[in-house]
Amino acid sequence: MTVFPKFHTTPFLTYEERESASRLSPSERQAMVKNVLFPYEQFLTVSKQIERFHRPVEGGAADTGWLGGLIGEYRSGKTFILQNFARQFPPVITDNGFEQEVIYLQARLDWDSLELGRQIYLATGMPTLPRLSTSTLNTKAARRIIDCGVKLIIVDDAHCLLGTAGRRRTVFISLIKYLLDQVNACNILLVGPSIVERSMETDLQMLGRGGFPRFRVSGFDSEQHGRTQFRVFLHGVDQRLPFRSLSDLASKRYIADLYEVSDGSIGMVMNIVIAAAYEAINDGTACIMREHLEQAAKDRLPTGKNYVPFGQGVGA
């Protein structure tokens, strides 16, 4: 079974709340920083789209037999959206045994042709499984989906399964088709960069499973609306950091540099904010200081960048 992060979503809106958070132990504050989650506009929109893919009719039943996609480039915030959604459906033990409505799988490049079936077994509460042939394992994995009441399978980093030709990809596609067609017990959401979308668009059989509805996640673009949303995002994160004072991450003195070093990527900007917050905790400061941001950004500057972030700065 997947163990999800304990996301920290509660903002500290008063001085008393911030003061209390700042007095927590270093390990508690570190966990808050590591798992801080602000439900920004795109987060809420995409979460609702996934919910509608899973249950298209309000008050109705979970849908089955459709294949969909969540498309976004690396570090665009997909995984936190997915994990936050999936954790709302924890496993339960009923009179009929183990039940798990939604399972979340994170594919890897080192998976062999048996691994998707194995991961379905593990995600549905089976700690071990016997040595089986590929076809037998996949048939039994499909049986587990039915027995455990799984209605949605989320496959994150699906490009690891689809990006290369050969037997491994053929086995993965075969199992997905089998789950959607003959078993018809669940929907499947494939998640990854644009290669996932292109792979499905060239497979007419896969397109036939619902037309491959797809939802998109992106970073914050450089246009006015994107910059505004970037600032809203940073302020929302700032409100959830366990410091006595706000760090003013969305202020004009920081925003240009934060955008420059992250290119509007949620994952990249959070790398800097998290690292800076750790140093602020170590230094015992009331908030993240300019020098914390400067060091965190300098440590992550790619080759060829010739300015000092949060030092000389960049133009707004």
Q: Are strands 92-94 and 97-99 parallel, antiparallel or unpaired?
A: antiparallel
pTM of the complete model: 0.90
Q: Does the pLDDT value for residue 105 go beyond 90?
A: yes
The CATH number assigned to the domain holding 154 equals: 3.40.50.300
CB count within 10 Å of CB 116 equals: 25
Q: Does the pLDDT value for residue 40 go beyond 90?
A: yes
Average pLDDT, integer, range 286-304: 91
Q: Does the pLDDT value for residue 55 go beyond 80?
A: yes
CB count within 10 Å of CB 254 equals: 20
Residue 180 lies in a domain: yes
Domain extent for 162: 41-216
pLDDT grade for 315, boundaries at 50, 70 and 90: very low
Residue 176 lies in a domain: yes
pLDDT digits (tens, 9 = 90+) for 57-73: 999 999 999 999 999 98
Percentage of the chain beyond pLDDT 70 is 98
pLDDT grade for 215, boundaries at 50, 70 and 90: very high
Residue 257 lies in a domain: no
Residue 169 lies in a domain: yes
Of 55-69, 93-107, 215-229, 298-312, least confident by mean pLDDT is 298-312
Question: Which has more pLDDT, 13 or 130?
Answer: 13
Question: Which has more pLDDT, 274 or 183?
Answer: 274
Residue 29 lies in a domain: no
Residue 165 lies in a domain: yes
CB 250 within 8 A of CB 232: yes
The total domain count for the chain is 1
Residue 84 lies in a domain: yes
Residue 253 lies in a domain: no
pLDDT grade for 146, boundaries at 50, 70 and 90: very high
pLDDT grade for 316, boundaries at 50, 70 and 90: very low
pLDDT grade for 42, boundaries at 50, 70 and 90: very high
Residue 82 CA to residue 78 CA, distance in Å, equals 6
Q: Does the pLDDT value for residue 222 go beyond 90?
A: no
Average pLDDT, integer, range 206-233: 89
Average pLDDT, integer, range 15-43: 97
